[in-house]
Amino acid sequence: MIALEKLSKIFPTSNGDITAVDNIDLTIDEGEIFGVIGYSGAGKSTLIRLLNMLEKPTSGKIIIAEKNMADLQGSSLRKARQEISMIFQHFNLLWSRTVRENIAFPLEIAKLSKKDKNARVDELIDLVGLTGREDAYPAQLSGGQKQRVGIARALANNPKVLLCDEATSALDPKTTDSILELLTDINKKLGLTIVLITHEMHVIRKICNRVAVMENGKIVEEGPVLDVFRQPREEMTKEFVKQITEPEETMEAIRELMKTGDTSPIVKISFLGEDAEQPIMTNLILTCGVSVNILQGKVSKTRDGSYGTLFVQLQGNQEQLNHALSYLKDQQVQTEVMTAHE
């Protein structure tokens, strides 16, 4: 569906050239939700703007639905762009227009008949859950409702690709989850290919099939989300995964516990897939005779399975502790004995 081949974007400045996107090769399958994650300055916003030619590449190919976007001009480019819509962090709504009028705007440009336009707007209002708010103005809407308007407007012309530029960054966590659920529902109902950029691993974890990690204009790691959670290779990826698996308040509590002089080992246990649903701790206690002090635990759901992390303090004699660590290894769960510098 989308193929990037040796794609680069260089911005010339008075202080020298800045390479925002650096020789990227990437394939995104039709109908998947693909995430691109990176910190500010990584190049992810430039990358997504290259996909619909809001930025022109310095070199390389952008192939979408078998067309090289970089070769298109004029009416051919405008026609290809109609199949690629975008939603933004700050909504970009027309503040003097109602919900209905905002959603209708691209249909007016496409010169749809009044009957067809009204029917399509009604359909989209229902799809994004804004029934009853048709005549409200943006200033009268919550942040989540504004983004729903933005999504409906982006879907007006039946695009094949939806680009999401930090679409949930301005929203609170609960509203973020509701928008992510809406995007997932749209992906299933319409078979839409969604490319989503973010700096939040929670967003990637919740709805993406695959993820690419960007740093300094390059993709440093890419793969299925569950695989990336299980075995992140690059330091940048490990930082993002820790947003979910090692919340700072948990790590601070562990560091404080270690300062007390208690030498009982603290172990981080990572579960994957069906193992995340199994009573491994109960079996550990019964089999090895150790006492287990659970410090923190969480099972995270991804699109393709569960990934769980559990921080526990094991208490017992040395033989029991060795038996416990050996038992966990035999269960094919990842274990890491925490140290004071963690």
What is the full DSSP assignment across 200-238? -HHHHHHH-SEEEEEETTEEEEEEEHHHHHH---SHHHH
Q: Between these two residues, 278 and 133, which has the higher pLDDT value?
A: 133
Confidence of residue 62 (pLDDT cuts 50, 70, 90): very high
> CA-CA distance, 217 to 18, in Å (whole number)?
10
Confidence of residue 277 (pLDDT cuts 50, 70, 90): low
Architecture of domain 246-337: 2-Layer Sandwich (3.30)
> CA-CA distance, 130 to 113, in Å (whole number)?
23
pTM of the model: 0.85
Q: Does the domain formed by 2-243 have CATH 3.30.300.30?
A: no
pLDDT of residue 253: 79
Mean local confidence (pLDDT), 126-136: 96
- The residues near 163 (Cβ < 8 Å, ≥ 6 apart) are 48, 51, 52, 84, 85, 86, 87, 194, 195, 196
pLDDT of residue 335: 85
- Is the Cβ–Cβ distance between 316 and 289 less than 8 Å? yes
Chain mean pLDDT for the chain: 90
Lowest-pLDDT range of 23-37, 265-279, 318-332: 265-279
> CA-CA distance, 225 to 13, in Å (whole number)?
36
Domain spans in the chain, listed from the N-terminal domain onward: 2-243, 246-337
Structure tokens at 265: 């080992």
Confidence of residue 305 (pLDDT cuts 50, 70, 90): confident
pLDDT over 60 at 165, yes or no: yes
pLDDT over 70 at 222, yes or no: yes
Mean local confidence (pLDDT), 1-27: 95
pLDDT of residue 256: 81
> CA-CA distance, 83 to 96, in Å (whole number)?
27
pLDDT of residue 122: 96
